[in-house]
Structure 1
Amino acid sequence: MKLDLDKIKWGIIGCGDVTEKKNGPPLYKLENSSLVAVMRRNGKLAEDYAKRHQVSRWYDSADQLINDAEVNAVYVATPPNMHAEYAIKAMRAGKPVYIEKPMAKTYAECKRMIQVSEETGVPIFVAYYRRALPLFMKVKELLDNDIVGKALTVNIRFFASSKEQNLSTEQLPWRIKPEIAGAGLFYDMGSHELDFLDFIFGPIAKVSGQAQNRAGYYPAEDTVTASFEFENGVLGTGSWSFVVDPSSEEDTIEILGTKGKLWFSCFNPIKLNLQTEQGELFYDFDQPEHVGGNHIQLVIDELRGVGKCPSTGKSAARTSWVMEEIVKDYYNKK
């Protein structure tokens, strides 16, 4: 299907927190793009969002939004357990979809979405917006230009303290409910890191991992380790824990090459560190007001036939496959 839309007229399914600043305002602030309808199951909250963001229509039904004749692209910003259903309905209605990450609750759902995209010719994009943020694009540029030589290894270290230790089961956020999120916070946070590595190194060919629940605050895994190998031969490791003491918190991705190394934060991407035989160099970056805006611009450009977005359904599905492989033993034992 050749789209080449003149102006993208968005509808949002699930206008929650992620749409308030990160990814919602760019839909109506960017050129050749407008937000014409929003949906939330709680109609009062949908109406409130529409008023605050000056959106002309709101719905409490996803089907109504998808069938809105003016909407020609759909942003699915619900929890992952509804991504596949809504994305497939939108694609069958001929409307491109931009989906929150992770792409779906399971890799099997990702594959179904890709199949429908191929059958209908309607594209899928996934909100891995680091592929368009300045620091991460600089990392790719430095690697592509051989500044640290041939890449050898990459290591992820992400450790955060828990906010859930005193919550009842009813109070737990959906991000740590596997029946909704697919797994725990590893899927929510680790997906960004693993997707970015896919962006700079290409697909992961081999992966193994271990996951455990060490603190017992909730049913999902809270501590994860992994080892992986990219198709290009780069080796990687990762360690994640979401229940450490605050004094142990860390957010680092380190890339080692034959001529130097790079290290930076995934979730506070304002400083990039480069070390070579010439010494250390530091790059500073400002965060945009809306961190998803650069990436959404690329989606708009592709839908208008004037550019390409680097985060597709196929690339996002690879990240879902990697994560599922890492935690599968933990969930298979349940």
Structure 2
Amino acid sequence: MKFKKVRWGIIGCGNVTEVKSGPAFQKVKNSELVAVMRRTGELAKDYAERHHVPKWYDNADSLINDPDVDAVYIATPPGSHKEYTLKAAQAGKPVYVEKPMALNFAECQEMIAACKAAGVPLFVAYYRRAMPRFLKIKELLENNAIGDVRFVSTAQYQKASDDVKDPEKLSWRVQPEISGGGLYYDLASHTLDLFDFLLGPIKDVNGFASNQGGFYRAEDIVTGTYMFESGIHGTGTWCFSVFENVDVNEIVGSKGKITFSTFGSEPIVLTTSKGAEQWSFEPPQHVHQPLVETIVEELTGDGNKCPSTGESGARTNWVMGEMTNL
């Protein structure tokens, strides 16, 4: 399946598509955004007019079956990812789906099977896999900068925000039937996927999930241990009802360690017996753009293959499900 130019349609042109993702489809070579959809038609029309998109819909089926749409970006919450992926696959169109890939691992497997049966590729929006900041970490690991990797650790803590304290304005991100779980599913997925990208698949997982703050039904703290197929160990604590915000990952090896954040812009720090080195990166204006470039290149046959697939995205859902016992 190759295209001269990939003409995209977006299902769910909400906040994430305003800057983070939407403009990337218009700026990448051999890529064009031709249609957007939102259930509220006036909002879809407004988005289309502001972003100079020629078509808008208030019905996903209409966008999926538009002959001018070659590929579909699903930017809705996870609760509808499987439904729209299956419909796009049935229409013979490549799919780029937001993360987490689905509500659970079983849904991910259904999505992979449907796309495979239809002969269409399935990509997942773990865009950090293509960002220069994290490619630098991969380069350091491949160059043996810290020797043999022994273990990784994650500490991610946040204050409880107002949109999870007010039951009248409860964010969809902490409603499991829409998001798959709590903020752990929304945020930890990025870190766990990064470790999969940097160090390979995880094979064994154990964890505990609880709700300590009582602001909503979903878990607000998860602690876990895991082991990669390579034998590297991992530990993590994610808590979303504490007094401060913390975001620190470490990859520790026989000769040094790499320290970095998942969401911040702090420098990457390499520490060895020789001292510390660091590298700073400005985040791309449209953080999805480097990954979208790889997708378009794969679909047009112009070079790179996308490093974030349905198979890799499903692995992250599996890890999260195992760690929360869901």
Which TM-score band (shorter chain)?
over 0.9
- What secondary structure is seen at the aligned counterpart in 2 of 1:5? coil
Match of 1:71, SS?
Answer: coil
Q: Which residue of 2 aligns with 1:284?
A: 280
Distance 2:164 2:2 in 1: 51
Conservation of the 8 A alpha-carbon contact between 2:205 and 2:224 = yes
Partner of 1:111: 109
Partner residue in 1 for 2:81? 83
Runs of 4+, deviation exceeding 6 Å: none
Q: How many Å separate the matches in 2 of 1:189 and 1:257?
A: 25
Contact 2:5–2:31, Cα closer than 8 Å, also in 1: yes
- Which of the numbers 171, 174, 191 marks the counterpart of 2:172? 174
Written as runs of structure 1 = structure 2, the 5 A alignment for 1:231-310 is 231-246=229-244, 249-306=245-302, 307-310=304-307
The amino acid of 2:27's aligned partner reads K
Taking the aligned partners of 1:324 and 1:287, their CA distance within structure 2 comes to 30
What's the CA shift string for 1:202-228, capped at 9, x where partnerless?
Answer: 110000100100010111000110100
Q: Which TM-score applies when normalising by structure 1?
A: 0.96
What TM-score do you get using the length of structure 2 for normalisation? 0.98
**Paired amino acid for 1:205:** K
Matched, 1:324 2:317: no
1:136-151 to 2 correspondences below 5 Å: 136-151=134-149
1:38–1:165: structure 2 CA closer, same or farther, 3 Å change rule?
closer
Indicate which of 302, 309, 315 corresponds to 1:312: 309
Q: How far apart, in 2, do the equivalents of 1:281 and 1:22 lie? A: 30
Residues 175-254 of structure 1 correspond to what in structure 2 (within 5 A)? 175-246=173-244, 249-254=245-250
Per-residue CA deviations over 1:136-181 (Å, capped at 9, x if unaligned) read: 1010111011010000000011001011487443310100000100
**What is the aligned residue count?**
325
Distance 1:304 1:254, change over 3 A: same
SS of 1:15 mapped into structure 2: coil
The Cα of 1:67 is off from its aligned counterpart by: 0.5
Aligned position for 2:21: 23
Amino acid at match of 1:185: L
Distance between the aligned counterparts of 1:202 and 1:164, measured in 2?
37
Residue in 1 aligned with 2:63?
Answer: 65
Give the SS at the match of 1:10: strand
Q: Do the aligned partners of 2:205 and 2:226 also contact (CA within 8 Å) in 1?
A: yes
2:186 is aligned with what amino acid? D
Q: Is 1:135 matched up with 2:133?
A: yes
- Cα drift, residue 284 of structure 1: 1.1
Secondary structure of 2:146's aligned partner: coil
Q: Which is worse superposed, 304-313 or 190-199?
A: 304-313
Instruction: Find the residue that maps to 1:189 and give its secondary structure.
Output: helix
Q: Counterpart amino acid of 2:178? A: I
Deviations 1:189-208 (A, max 9, x none): 00000000000111100001
Deviation at 1:106, TM superposition (A): 1.2
Whichever residue aligns with residue 255 of structure 1, its letter is I
Shift in CA distance, 212/165, structure 1 to aligned 2, threshold 3 Å: farther
SS of residue matched to 2:29: coil
What's the secondary structure of 2:21's corresponding residue? coil
Gaps of 5+ in 2: none
CA distance in 2 between counterparts of 1:35 and 1:167 reads 37
**Is the contact made by 2:164 and 2:174 (CA closer than 8 Å) also made in structure 1?**
no
Provide the identity percentage: 51
Letter in 2 for 1:322: V
- For 2:29 and 2:128, locate their aligned partners in 1 and report how far apart those are by CA, in whole Å: 21
Q: Secondary structure at the match of 2:116?
A: helix
User: Alignment partner of 2:241: what SS?
Assistant: coil
What per-residue deviation string (whole Å, max 9, x for no partner) do you get for residues 240-262 of structure 1?
0011113xx21011010000000
Amino acid of the structure 1 residue aligned with 2:106: A
Aligned-partner Cα distance in 2 for 1:206–1:112: 22
| Aligned mates of 1:171, 1:288 — CA distance in 2 | 31
Deviation at 1:121, TM superposition (A): 1.1
Structure 1, unaligned runs of 5 or more: none
User: What SS is found at the alignment partner of 1:205?
Assistant: strand
Q: 1:256-294 CA deviation, whole Å, 9 max, x = no partner?
A: 000000001110144100011111101111111111110
